[in-house]
A and B are shown apart, each in its own frame.
Chain A
Amino acid sequence: MTLDLEMAEIAKVFFQESREGLDAMESGLLSLDSSADVENINTIFRAAHSIKGGSATFGFAEVAAFTHGVETLLDEMRNGVRPVTAGAIQTLLQSCDCLREMLAATEAEQPLDQGRIASLNSEINQILGESPVEAAPAVAAPASASAASSAAQGTRVNQGPAGPCGWRIIFEPVADLLRLRNEPTRMFAELARLGQMTVRADISRLPPLDAMDPESCYVGWDIELTGEIPRQALADVFDWVDARCRLELIPLGAAPVETVESAEPLVPAPPSDAATVHAAAPGAAANAHPQKSGADAGSIRVATEKLDNIINLVGELLITQSMLCGFAEGIDPSELDLLRQGLSQLARNTRELQESVMRIRMLPISFAFNRFPRLVHDLSRKLGKKVEIKLTGEGTELDKTVLEKITDPLVHLVRNALDHGLETSEQRLAAGKREAGTLELGAFHEGGNIIIEVRDDGAGLNKAKILRKARERGLVPPDQELTDEQIDNLIFMPGFSTAEQISDVSGRGVGMDVVRRNINDLGGHVQIFSKEGQGSTIRIRLPLTLAILDGQLVRVGKEVYIISLLAIVETIQISRERLNTLPGQAEVFRLRDDFLPVVKLCDQFCIEPDSRNAADGLLVVVEADGRRAGVLVDDLLAQQQVVIKSLESNFKPVSGIAGATILGDGTVALIIDVPDLIRSAAERREGAMTAHAA
């Protein structure tokens, strides 16, 4: 029973590895498109081979059988017997999908999609049967196991029935039997398990001692084994011995039974170093050097939960450190230097520890990018467009959570670019462009952010059309003039889709507004740049992690709040004359050519500020979603990294607050949700204006 449980554990690993294997097959198959490189086919073959082997081991016969066909096809491709055609690659890609589903179904113990399996199987068989190359070597396989043993038996005297009462075995090995570590003693031990055994050694070939090579075997054996033993059982024992051996299996009863005198020594003058090599194996656990099993990818698998725990601890450590720093302010000056030294060391250590721990959570963006070659391959076929995909900066790392959440928006953007952005081959040629469109996915770091770009060299956005549509839908007032950039970014407005026909690929109601909301939820920002006729670039800016934030501490009355440094554009002193009160009590601040809505944190959170006079405070200009606002605070305090503690999981969601953190003095400070604040400020202003208008 425990073995079953253990096997279930290993089966889990098998599923995981098989999935990785399928990914490898898929990317290999996709790059086969351009070149039929043997090493590449080999890699694909090996992946299929391990899936087949593993699934057979775990008794997933259907998976094994299906993979067998795939493997056979790959084997023929590898050996150059079968041409690598686009059709075959397509079938193999679909087989990968099918296998993925079969594995998922097997793991969940759900029934398999037999129809799909059968149809793919017949497709593969059709390819295999296409040219009259003689039957694939692997197809003829199953029968060969028994052939193996018969080949190894060498001369065979009598087929006979399945050993009614026993066997006489004459075994004369070749001289180098021992050199391959085929131990006769062990074979005899095995035979002894099958029945009553008597052995007589034939030492007639033994040379004189001085001429004897200690590593060679000169002894033959005549063995009698009684009992009901099938021939196959004997053949198995001798399966490994060289075909050049003399091995005769004679059923007893067929030949006259000989009585055997006392058995001569069994062991054929054991070569001395063979004995030393044969060290006792099981048990000893002295110098175990278990190899890292994940060495293939140079990475380890760690449960996210464990990592989160470490990150939490590091967060606490940071808190302790800033608490100590706080103590240092009021201590005997003579000891101050020492303490400061120690503290700065602690600060450095904690920062380093934090960085290295954070790095564990970081994954290269290739985890998200890798699916795109396949997606583009499939989509471009479906749309009948020729598309080349280029990936750059796949090694750029970002937090696992961010990575997971950005994948869906990226898929949407890529689908859009293929469906709406890139033109058909004819249109491209007519426009004097290369026939195949290019889609580029790139990533790089910029400051504390990662920038992801989705670039196409397609038609670009049709600004006139966008503006017309936006006006039709009432998204833009008829008389308002917009800059090109503003027009382009209209596509992120809710309820906006310019696709003339709703297609299977995009335009199913999930719009760019959802993409933008998802990105904003991650604390990111998305922009589009487009040139008509030359293509579009969508640029996504994301924080590297969601767990720690570079914060600016601000004070309002007695309360301390934190504003993300990334959101802060600038901080200015307020001059009275630039502050205007709009009708309906909303205040705006004139900053150069712009009017900023002013958000008073004291009013927002009902706190008593130092002074009711806005001119005594400072205005922190923040930006989110391309909109700005001024946040009125009493004072700016330190800038520091803060560990974000979720309010949602510890308390409940609070509008305007993104989370909380614990400061060095142990007090809790709330982190301002800047996008939310700006949104509500804008709503209030609009509300005030309509109220005024009415």
Chain B
Amino acid sequence: MRQMVSFTLKGAGYEVLQACDGVEALDLAREQVVDLVLTDVHMPRMDGITLVRELRALANYKFVPMLILTTESSQEKKMDGKRAGATGWIVKPFNPPQLLATLARVI
């Protein structure tokens, strides 16, 4: 999944940093401020919702768009994400054009 997202984004000219879970992503984001955060909900160690909440609390990430990847079944997760400070969500499954179109809405 991550590879497919990363590949699509790189193909569209974005620079992509990858992390394999929330904890790693948080560390990465602290080191280098990014223009957009894209995170799955289900991740080991730290889930996507917590990641968004933690990032939103950082001064550098106050206005950074953050999107969560979620399945259609998790309406509740969308709202959780929203409450945690996510800009929006992308419903899985999606194909590369959908992903790029969604990204174009925030960046």
Whether B19 is near chain A, meaning CB under 8 Å from some CB there, is: yes
Across-interface contacts of B17 in A (CB, < 8 A): 289-291
**Which residues, 1 to 33 on B, are CB-close (under 8 Å) to A?**
1-4, 6-7, 11-20, 24, 28, 32
Whether the pair A277, B35 counts as a contact (CB closer than 8 A) is yes
Whether A625 is near chain B, meaning CB under 8 Å from some CB there, is: no
User: Which one of B42, B87, B93, B95 has the greatest number of beta carbons of chain A within 10 Å?
Assistant: B93
Return A113 CB to nearest CB of chain B, in Å: 24
Whether B106 is near chain A, meaning CB under 8 Å from some CB there, is: yes
Return A420 CB to nearest CB of chain B, in Å: 42
**CB-defined interface of A1-15 with B at 8 Å, one 1/0 digit per residue?**
001001101100110
Given contacts A43-B44, A289-B17, A291-B19, contact A145 B87 (CB under 8 A): no
Residues of chain B at interface, number, CB under 8 A: 51
Residues of chain A at interface, number, CB under 8 A: 61
User: Which one of B28, B85, B96, B105 has the greatest number of beta carbons of chain A within 10 Å?
Assistant: B105
**Which residues, 30 to 66 on A, are CB-close (under 8 Å) to B?**
42-43, 45-46, 49-50, 53-54, 56-57, 64
Across-interface contacts of B64 in A (CB, < 8 A): 181, 277
Across-interface contacts of A151 in B (CB, < 8 A): 75
Across-interface contacts of A141 in B (CB, < 8 A): 71-73
Given contacts A53-B71, A242-B82, contact A14 B4 (CB under 8 A): yes
Whether A295 is near chain B, meaning CB under 8 Å from some CB there, is: yes
CA distance A13 to B69 in the complex (A): 20
Return B69 CB to nearest CB of chain A, in Å: 8
Whether the pair B88, A239 counts as a contact (CB closer than 8 A) is yes
CA distance A23 to B70 in the complex (A): 24
Q: Which of A7, A49, A148, A277 is close to B63, meaning CB atoms less than 8 Å apart?
A: A277
Whether the pair B1, A50 counts as a contact (CB closer than 8 A) is yes
CA distance A45 to B43 in the complex (A): 11
**Which residues, 66 to 80 on A, are CB-close (under 8 Å) to B?**
none
Whether the pair A281, B16 counts as a contact (CB closer than 8 A) is no
Given contacts A281-B107, A284-B15, A291-B28, contact A6 B7 (CB under 8 A): yes
Whether B91 is near chain A, meaning CB under 8 Å from some CB there, is: yes
Q: Smallest CB-CB separation from B91: which chain A residue?
A: A145
Given contacts A182-B88, A186-B106, contact A148 B78 (CB under 8 A): yes
Whether A694 is near chain B, meaning CB under 8 Å from some CB there, is: no
Whether B66 is near chain A, meaning CB under 8 Å from some CB there, is: yes
CA distance A43 to B21 in the complex (A): 13
Whether A283 is near chain B, meaning CB under 8 Å from some CB there, is: yes
Across-interface contacts of B12 in A (CB, < 8 A): 282
Q: Which of B85, B93, B107 is close to A180, meaning CB atoms less than 8 Å apart?
A: B85
Return A40 CB to nearest CB of chain B, in Å: 12
Given contacts A3-B96, A242-B82, A273-B63, contact A13 B35 (CB under 8 A): no
Q: Smallest CB-CB separation from A56: which chain B residue?
A: B93
Q: Smallest CB-CB separation from B83: which chain A residue?
A: A242
Whether A278 is near chain B, meaning CB under 8 Å from some CB there, is: yes
Whether A255 is near chain B, meaning CB under 8 Å from some CB there, is: no
Whether A285 is near chain B, meaning CB under 8 Å from some CB there, is: yes
**Which residues, 64 to 107 on B, are CB-close (under 8 Å) to A?**
64-66, 69, 71-73, 75, 78-79, 82, 85-89, 91-96, 105-107
Whether the pair A180, B87 counts as a contact (CB closer than 8 A) is yes
Whether A240 is near chain B, meaning CB under 8 Å from some CB there, is: yes
Whether B36 is near chain A, meaning CB under 8 Å from some CB there, is: yes
Q: Which of B15, B75, B91, B95 is close to A147, meaning CB atoms less than 8 Å apart?
A: B75
CA distance A17 to B2 in the complex (A): 11
Across-interface contacts of B43 in A (CB, < 8 A): 46
Whether the pair B85, A57 counts as a contact (CB closer than 8 A) is no
Whether A157 is near chain B, meaning CB under 8 Å from some CB there, is: no
Given contacts A10-B4, A281-B36, contact A53 B92 (CB under 8 A): yes
Whether the pair A293, B1 counts as a contact (CB closer than 8 A) is no
CA distance A296 to B45 in the complex (A): 12
Given contacts A181-B65, A285-B15, A293-B3, contact A187 B105 (CB under 8 A): yes
Q: Which of A50, A144, A239, A291 is close to B18, meaning CB atoms less than 8 Å apart?
A: A291
CA distance A26 to B42 in the complex (A): 19
Whether the pair A183, B72 counts as a contact (CB closer than 8 A) is no
Across-interface contacts of B93 in A (CB, < 8 A): 53, 56-57, 64
Whether the pair B42, A293 counts as a contact (CB closer than 8 A) is no
Return B34 CB to nearest CB of chain A, in Å: 9
Whether A608 is near chain B, meaning CB under 8 Å from some CB there, is: no
Given contacts A57-B1, A181-B66, A289-B32, contact A282 B13 (CB under 8 A): yes
Q: Smallest CB-CB separation from A75: which chain B residue?
A: B73
Across-interface contacts of A57 in B (CB, < 8 A): 1, 4, 92-95
Whether A190 is near chain B, meaning CB under 8 Å from some CB there, is: yes
Whether the pair B92, A144 counts as a contact (CB closer than 8 A) is no
**Which residues, 162 to 209 on A, are CB-close (under 8 Å) to B?**
178-183, 186-187, 190
Q: Smallest CB-CB separation from A3: which chain B residue?
A: B96
Q: Smallest CB-CB separation from B96: which chain A residue?
A: A3
Across-interface contacts of A274 in B (CB, < 8 A): 63
Whether A263 is near chain B, meaning CB under 8 Å from some CB there, is: no
Across-interface contacts of B86 in A (CB, < 8 A): 180
Given contacts A144-B75, A290-B16, contact A53 B1 (CB under 8 A): yes
CA distance A178 to B85 in the complex (A): 11
User: Which one of A9, A54, A190 has the greatest number of beta carbons of chain B within 10 Å?
Assistant: A54
CA distance A9 to B3 in the complex (A): 10
Q: Which of B3, B73, B75 is close to A10, meaning CB atoms less than 8 Å apart?
A: B3
Across-interface contacts of A137 in B (CB, < 8 A): 73
Return A193 CB to nearest CB of chain B, in Å: 10
CA distance A148 to B28 in the complex (A): 32
Whether the pair B7, A10 counts as a contact (CB closer than 8 A) is yes
Return B19 CB to nearest CB of chain A, in Å: 6
Whether the pair B63, A179 counts as a contact (CB closer than 8 A) is yes
Q: Smallest CB-CB separation from B65: which chain A residue?
A: A181
CA distance A64 to B72 in the complex (A): 13
Return A197 CB to nearest CB of chain B, in Å: 16
Which residues of B are in contact with A by a Cβ distance under 8 Å?
1-4, 6-7, 11-20, 24, 28, 32, 35-36, 42-44, 62-66, 69, 71-73, 75, 78-79, 82, 85-89, 91-96, 105-107
**Can you give 28 A-B contacts (C-beta < 8 A)?**
A10-B7, A13-B3, A13-B4, A14-B3, A14-B4, A17-B3, A49-B42, A56-B92, A57-B4, A57-B93, A64-B93, A138-B73, A141-B71, A144-B75, A147-B75, A178-B63, A180-B82, A181-B64, A182-B87, A186-B105, A271-B63, A279-B35, A291-B17, A291-B28, A293-B2, A293-B3, A295-B24, A296-B20
**Given A181-B66, A289-B17, A291-B17, 4 further pairs, Cβ under 8 A:** A10-B3, A182-B88, A283-B13, A293-B2
The 6 closest A-B pairs by CB, nearest first: A141-B73, A56-B93, A240-B88, A282-B13, A181-B65, A291-B18
